[in-house]
Structure 1
Amino acid sequence: MRSRRLLLLLLVAAAVAAFFFSGASDFLALEALQTEQVRFHAWLEREPVTVIGGFFLLYVVIAALSLPGATLMTLLSGALFGLGWGLVIVSFASTLGATLAALIARTLLRGPLERRYARQLERINAGIRREGALYLFTLRLIPLFPFFVINLVMGLTRMRLTTFYWVSQLGMLPATLVFVNAGRELAELQALGDILSPSLVASFALIGIFPWLAKGLVALVKRRALARRHRRPASFDRDIVVIGAGAAGLVASYIASAVRARVTLVERERMGGDCLNTGCVPSKALIRAARSIREIRRAGQYGVRVAEPSVDFPAVMGHVHGAIEAIAPHDSVERYQGLGVEVLKGEASLISPWQVRVVTPKGEQTLSTRHVIIASGARPRVPDLPGIESVEVLTSDTLWRLKELPERLLVLGGGPIGCELGQSFALLGSRVTLVESAGQLLPREDAEVAEALQIAMGEDGVRVLLGHRALGVVADAAGSALEVANADGHRELVPFTHLLVAVGREANVTGMGLEALGIDTRGNGTLDVDETLRSVLPNVWACGDVAGPYQLTHAGAHQAWHATVNALFGEFKRFRVSYRALPAVTFTTPEVARVGLNEREARSQGTDYEVTRYALSELDRALAEADSGGFVKVLTPPGSDRILGATIVGEGAGEMLATFTLAMTRGIGLNRLLSTIHPYPTRSEAVKATAGVWKNAHKPERLLGWLGRYFAWRRGAGRVTRG
């Protein structure tokens, strides 16, 4: 196989070299073709089969080898053969050449590139799996990408070549017609004044507006195909129905109402979703209570003498629930009704892309809507471990019902949720053991970040077992324990009174009729949507945890804006979601905050980078507060101040991260951050100090050398010489 691939590569290289060294590229220049046009027509009359066959073969070779000249050849076909024959010749020659180009790319490049650029190619393969031949048809019909690029890229995918051929034949036909017709008009140009003839102007104007016309045609085809499968109402009662009143659903409803669209929000449980009731709000309230214990214990280093704190756990949980009650009005039914949103309490399911059935305590009703936004969120995933059914399993959803402080808490999972809650309960007085199957905490972060957190959690009393796989739960009269095994196969029983599972979350996608409508899920269980958050159905969108890939409140809000704006105004403009500057914070002590790439991700993507580090032990505010652990780490392209990503470990890391997030969003480099005035003494000065470290590492040594000589000369020039 390898020798055949090498032989094909040599043949392609030889053909490309022959094309350029033979002067064929010069022959295809417009001036040369105009000179030879009369002679060509005479040759065509004498030997039509030879001329047409030769032109066909040349076009196939140019397309197959991705050589320049395909567009000019298409124009030329209209000039030489007229609209009818020119269209037939180019249509079949271009399709055959494109298929050969895809085959060459598949043979030579697909294997190596799939291994190196698996993530990038997966996006294209996902489009093919989602829309099949229509995906390629759209690319062909809307010529936003060069002809040869589509050939080569599609050759790297898993699409069958037979499908590639007939879709290309059909999809390229309209554009071919437009260009062949323009070539025919050019051939009939007799005088300079004919350039302004209506037919010629119209032909080239059609080339310019064709992509927009084709885009509209594709949208029309999709809508018609959808209408054939499902009965489309003649009119609609609403513009948008939003399913789920968590962070994403609330933002989507707010935006739709703000632009005076008629929107209905359906929620089956509590307004505010996980973030308000079981996630962000209660966890941060608990973390604050736990942090106060650390502050009390550290008070002695500031000269304040206090006794060991005593924890009233029911009062702590009262504080947690009080925080929920204080924020709940922001997400309440009353507030959103006041904003113009119709709020329904009930179970929602899709009957068709335009009809949503809502079962409420008062009965059932069917809503007709132009668009549906699914924001149904996610729930904690509980692994199927042997014996786990014999114990009560706590999750981030059910933890807040606790009445007593767990004596022995076993946390399964070393991600952000497991680390935050495990450290907090250890400070509150529980004996906490955390089990993580990976070799570090926070597996997505750099090793040094995880190591700093592990040390801090150990100091707070958390026993951390890394690289340990959970085998099952053992429960008997003596109590409960989790059996774990390390990489060497050594087994251990870890006793517990309470088991908290924090191994991830799974999207809520069942019970809404999505399967019947053909809305698929990805391998991780989230809804399969494109970069504009649209599903396979053009009017059904998704955002938040149910869509992924980031299950963060602010990520859901970010997506909600895109889903809503794309739904309401997508006929004019659709926006792709960018996660390049998406921040994330783990609210442990020390806090771990990151935006953009870290070193782990940069290496996996093959991105070149350099690292700028600043230790918080150099920061005056941190030294004054005797809390100087941690660091700031910024990644930039070699020699550039453009920020690829920033990671901060330490007190107030989440607040400091906002500056780097803004800088990445607005294209602000480290040079401009250095020139920004920061108040002294604050934690935010660490941002400017990091920029200063980068600047010092990139100072112009040669220029500074010349400046040193200049100042030395200036100092010497002022001396008075006495005889």
Structure 2
Amino acid sequence: MDTTKFDVVTIGAGPGATPAALYLARHSKRVAVIEQGHALGGTCLFEGCIPSKIYLETAKRIRDIQEAARFGLANAQFQELALSVLTERKQKILRQRSLEMQQRLTQLGVTVVYGRADFLDAHHVVVQTGDARKILSADYIIASPGSRPKPLRVPEADDASLWTNAQALKLDTIPSSLCIVGGGYIGAELATLYQALGTHVHVLEAASRILASEDPAIGAYLTKNWSSAINPIEVETDVRVTRIETRPDGRWTVGYNHPLRGFRRKTVDRVLVAIGREPNTGQMAWDKVGITLGPRGEVPVNRYFQTTAPHIYAPGDVNGQIMLAHAAARQSSIVAQHILKKPTAAAHDIVPHVIMSSPEIAAVGADTRSLVMHPTWRVTQWQYQHSVRPLVAGDERGFAQLIWDRATHKIMGCQIIGLGASELISEMTQVMTHQGTLESFVETVHPHPTLHEVVTDLAMKALIEAQSETAQEGGAIRTD
């Protein structure tokens, strides 16, 4: 069997691999990209980030129609969802994004191979392409096979007709009722989507609150908002799902234990398991290249995303550090720079994330759970209703909060729940990345009236609080 030689081979063609492939190809490296799926883009493009946001955009339009009377638009009604039109819109966007990536790689001379890849030895990868096998050799290997849905280990939870996020985003049917097992970011976004489509949604969460990885105030606010919606989303926390049963009529019954109500059953049309994701490492022979997986199946890496085999890198979800597409893309770029002997490292505490619930959620850096460990840190909160743009837009739900250091006025973190949160977090991230302070944020002029005034007003309030605290203690007020 012939072997084709490359400088770099990537296993995977998602955001953990293609940025490195493009960067290295632009620097005259001979690169091959291996993709197991039918097109380039990875889980984010075909089963995660992008399909969910396409559908959530439709959900937002539905809510706008339902609230149109508040803006003087009488008799506006949402009557029917044209699933075929929505599905075609999704497919068109996915095809366009995938084709654009294919063209960019081709223009730079990158070889694209479709098939299932595995390690043959330390410098060789074997690819199963239909009935044929190809062997690729490389000086460096970038292994970025991504992640997969974490399974729910209870009776019948392995039934193929149970939904994961991938099945839920096919949107080939809209159930009248849906039970979502898991109240993390995936569960929150899909609850938002199906609620807007008219489905009665019930969320079961094992932790004491939904969005347990977020600041406690965020999950509490979203739960309250969901409960007061026109089509309320029911939330139960501290529960343990014990079994999922199919019924003769095709529906499902979820059995679970509640700490106060005891054993309960919920019968619904569909069940979605969204308890998180895990590294997709189970189908590759990592032992052949001397790599021992971690306790969660993750690939251990250093700050440059090098594995214990120095010529093999593992950026993205596969290392289990930050399972976000934009984090994977940044890690991929760091890998490429390290291969080219231009090392730079990521700041893992300054990686923003967003949740496209209604209202939107975004956060970066530290939250209020860090205050107990840092006595000089403070928290300041600003309500959306006190800024003009949310009032004009007719959506004054939510708040923004800032974590800052009273000694240095350095911004340590920010959480936002409200209109445009996913866009507002970027400026805060940039300020934090460059060691910005309350002063540096306040001194930046923001146009009026825009949503950016929410975080400007927040920073101004925090600065006033900082100066007041300093004055009360008899210290000098910062003027730098």
- Whether the TM-score (by the shorter chain) exceeds 0.5 is yes
Separation in structure 1 between the aligned mates of residue 90 and residue 17 of structure 2, nearest angstrom = 24
Query: Which shifted more, 663-672 or 460-469?
Result: 460-469
Residue 307 of structure 1 and its aligned partner are, at CA, apart by 4.1
Q: What residue in structure 1 maps to residue 142 of structure 2?
A: 373
Q: Distance in 2 between matches of 1:297 and 1:354?
A: 58
| Counterpart in the other structure of 1:328 | 98
Deviation at residue 524 of structure 1 after TM alignment: 1.9
Task: Tell me the distance in 1 between the aligned counterparts of 2:357 and 2:77.
Answer: 22
Corresponding residue number in structure 1 for 2:79: 310
Q: What is the correspondence of 1:148-187 to structure 2 with a 5 Å cutoff?
A: none
Following TM superposition, by how much is the alpha carbon of 1:466 offset from its aligned partner in structure 2, in angstroms? 1.5
Within the alignment, does 1:434 sit opposite 2:170 as a pair? no
1:431, 1:462 within 8 Å by CA — same for their partners in 2? Answer: yes
1:425: which partner in 2? 194
After superposition, the CA RMSD in angstroms is 2.1
Q: Secondary structure at the match of 1:237?
A: strand
| Alpha-carbon distance in structure 1 between the residues aligned to 2:233 and 2:397 | 19
- Rounded to whole Å, the distance in 1 between the matches of 2:223 and 2:447 is 32
Distance 2:186 2:159 in 1: 24
Question: How many angstroms apart in 2 are the aligned matches of 1:290 and 1:353?
Answer: 48
Q: Which amino acid aligns with 2:461?
A: V
1:474 aligns with 2:245: yes
Q: Post-superposition shift, 1:313? A: 4.9
Query: Which of these residues, 640, 654, 667, is aligned with residue 422 of structure 2?
Result: 654
Unaligned segments of structure 1, at least 5 residues: 1-234, 706-723
Q: What is the aligned partner in structure 2 of residue 484 from structure 1?
A: 256
Output the CA distance in 1 between the equivalents of 2:449 and 2:297.
47
Q: Distance in 1 between matches of 2:307 and 2:7?
A: 17
Question: Could you list the per-position Cα deviations for residues 243-273 of structure 1 after superposition, in whole angstroms to 9, with x for gaps in the alignment?
Answer: 0001111111111111111111111113101
CA radius of gyration, larger in: 1
Aligned 8 A contact 2:363 2:416 in 1: yes
Equivalent position of 1:549 in the other structure: 321
Deviations for 1:412-462, whole angstroms, at most 9, x for unmatched residues? Answer: 110111011111101101121111111111101122111111122221421
In the alignment, the residues of structure 2 paired with residue 500 and residue 608 of structure 1 have an alpha-carbon distance, to the nearest angstrom, of 43
Q: Is the 8 A contact 2:152 2:158 kept in 1?
A: no
**Residue type of the alignment partner of 2:420:** G
Match of 2:432, as an amino acid?
M
- 2:26 pairs with 1:258: yes
User: Which residue does the alignment assign to 2:403?
Assistant: 635
Tell me the SS of whatever aligns to 2:222.
helix
Alignment partner of 1:242: what SS? Answer: strand
Alignment of 1:681-692 (within 5 A): 681-692=449-460
Q: Is the Cα contact below 8 Å between 1:246 and 1:273 reproduced in 2? A: yes
1:299 pairs with one of 22, 47, 68: 68
1:52-99 deviation per Cα after TM superposition (whole angstroms, max 9, x unaligned): xxxxxxxxxxxxxxxxxxxxxxxxxxxxxxxxxxxxxxxxxxxxxxxx
Tell me the SS of whatever aligns to 1:682: coil
Amino acid at match of 1:485: N
Question: In 2, Cα distance between the equivalents of 1:236 and 1:426?
Answer: 51
Q: Distance in 1 between matches of 2:243 and 2:124?
A: 45
Equivalent position to 2:333, from 551, 556, 561: 561
Given the alignment of the two structures, is residue 530 of structure 1 paired with residue 299 of structure 2, yes or no?
Answer: no
- In 1, are the aligned partners of 2:352 and 2:425 still within 8 Å (CA)? yes
Where does 1:677-716 land on structure 2 (aligned, <5 Å)? 677-699=445-467
For 1:676, the equivalent position in structure 2 comes to 444
- Is residue 2:395 matched to residue 1:623? no
Amino acid at match of 1:499: V
Q: Deviations over 1:189-211 (max 9, x none)?
A: xxxxxxxxxxxxxxxxxxxxxxx
Verify the 8 A CA contact 1:313 1:404 in the aligned structure 2: no
Q: CA deviation at 1:326?
A: 3.5
Superposed, 1:35-74 pairs within 5 Å as none
- The reply to whether residue 516 of structure 1 matches residue 288 of structure 2 is yes
SS in 2 for 1:322: helix
Which residue among 602, 607, 611 is the counterpart of 2:379?
Answer: 611
1:465 corresponds in structure 2 to: 236
8 Å Cα contact 2:371-2:378 kept in structure 1: no
* Distance change (3 Å), C-alpha of 1:553 and 1:389: closer
Sequence identity (%): 27
1:355-399 CA-partner distances (Å, limit 9, x unpaired): 112222373222221110101101112212113345611111222
Contact 2:252 2:271 in 1 (8 A): no
State the shift of 1:340 in Å.
1.9
Q: Are the aligned partners of 1:519 and 1:536 in contact in 2 as well (CA < 8 Å)?
A: yes
1:132 is matched with: none
CA contact (8 A) 2:10 2:21 kept: yes
What is the TM-score of this pair, normalised by structure 1?
A: 0.62
Residue-by-residue CA offset, 1:287-309 (whole Å, 9 max, x unaligned): 01111111111111111113431
Specify whether residues 475 and 429 from structure 1 end up closer, same or farther in structure 2 by C-alpha distance, changes over 3 A only. Answer: same
Aligned length: 465
Q: Which position in structure 2 is the counterpart of 1:448?
A: 217
Q: State which of 339, 353, 362 in structure 1 corresponds to 2:122.
A: 353
| Structure 2 CA distance for aligned equivalents of residues 512 and 524 of structure 1 | 15
* TM-superposition CA deviations, 1:532-557 (whole Å, max 9, x none): 21111111110011112111110000
Partner of 2:478: none
Which residue of the other structure, out of 345, 351, 360, is the alignment partner of 1:576? 345
CA distance in 2, matches of 1:452, 1:465: 15
Q: 1:626 to 1:390 in 2, by over 3 A?
A: closer
Mark the CA change 1:430 to 1:535 in structure 2 (over 3 Å): closer, same or farther: same
**d(CA) in 1 for partners of 2:111 and 2:158?**
41
Pick closer, same or farther for the CA change 1:457–1:328 going to 2, 3 Å.
Answer: farther
SS in 2 for 1:264: strand
**Partner secondary structure for residue 401 of structure 2:** strand
